[in-house]
Amino acid sequence: MSDLPPPLPPYGVRDSGDAWVYGPDGAKYWGRFGAAGLLVWHPTAGVLLQHRVGWSHHGGTWGLPGGALKEGETPVEGAMREALEEAGVPAELLTVIYTSVLELGFWRYTTVVTETSSEFEPVIGDAESVALAWVSVDEVKNLQLHPGFAAAWPELRSRLR
């Protein structure tokens, strides 16, 4: 696990939300304005997961496309933007089912749960992914999951139709 932030976007431009937030116990969380991830679900294909690159926070684990919110951005907007950037997720195919919020007082993570009207081929769009895959709902628990996603998965799964 690296204390270095992700590589800078082209031309060295960094959004003001791209920063670590530290909890009272010293644990770090990415996103000055919080963060959001997109759980894309298809009834037969399963859920779209991202295998995180080794240099990232909790690298080598599987989780959701997502990341830091920009200032003024809603969690739904941020999750959709990040999923498009990281995995080529087409927002026009998605219906938001619900959101799930982890509120820590000093930082918030929102999981935006969506259903896609059709299966699509995800495309790695940045250096944050090793792989993207549709994983059956029953097989998710067999992967090495990002700790936050692992903690949230049982509740998220129970609410899928």
For residues 12 and 26, give the distance between their C-alpha atoms in angstroms, rounded to a whole number.
28
In a domain, 10, yes or no: no
Q: What is the pLDDT of residue 36?
A: 98
Which residues of the chain carry a pLDDT beneath 50? 1, 8, 10-13
7, part of any domain: no
Do 38 and 121 contact (CB within 8 A), yes or no? no
The CATH number covering residue 72 comes to 3.90.79.10
Considering the entire predicted model, what is its pTM? 0.89
Instruction: Determine the residue type at 120.
Output: F
Which residues are CB-contacts of 52 (< 8 A; sequence separation ≥ 6)?
58, 59, 60, 61, 62, 63, 128, 129, 130, 146
Residue 1 lies in a domain: no
For residue 72, is it within any domain? Answer: yes
- Under a CB-based contact definition with an 8 Å cutoff, are residues 39 and 79 in contact? no
Domains in the chain, number: 1
Residue 65 within any structural domain of the chain: yes
pLDDT tens profile 133-142: 999 999 999 9
Domain extent, residue 145, equals: 15-158
